[in-house]
Amino acid sequence: MRGKAIVRAISLLVLVSYPSTSFALLSLPADWQYPAQATQESPADSTTSTTTTSDADCLKSQITGKADASAQHSSVGYFLGGVCSGVLLGLIGTAILTVAAAGSNPDPSSVPDTLDVRCYVDGYHSKAKSKNVWSALGGGLLGTTVFLIVYLSND
């Protein structure tokens, strides 16, 4: 019974202390543009880029970015953080870290010269972010399971 009261107190403390955490994590960066605006070239861009990227080249760059993120991006930190938050805070900790992972902005360390930079980064970003979210969720659920096993075995 005492453990249940502690978990409720911690959960209430987190919700009272950080009521807008999930909204702050989901807010967009200041330089974000709608996709229609991002594809339009400004006069400064037209002087540096004389050719436009075809849809096939962009798709190839996105696929390569996703493949590179799948092979190179590590989400172990989100998994371990999920386990710890699940053990300490249960499902609330899992939810908090999963929302934080959804707000992450992973970027590649380098972009191959032969690919379209914007499309490659878009592909890399989407796959790496997906890995972060699933790792945080999986670790959090594992931690919550450990929390429940320990809690139920004490009764």
Using DSSP, state whether 105 is helix, strand or coil: coil
- Tens digits of residue pLDDT in 86-134: 999 999 999 999 999 999 889 898 898 889 899 999 999 999 999 999 9
Q: What is the pLDDT of residues 99-109, one digit of tens each?
A: 999 998 898 98
Closest CA to 142 of 100, 93, 99, 101: 93
**Domain spans, the chain:** 55-155
More confident position, 52 or 39? 52
Which residue in the block uniquely carries the two structure tokens 């080249």? Answer: 57
- Strand ranges inside the chain, DSSP E: none
Cβ(54)–Cβ(115) below 8 Å? no
Instruction: Indicate whether this model's pTM tops 0.75.
Output: no
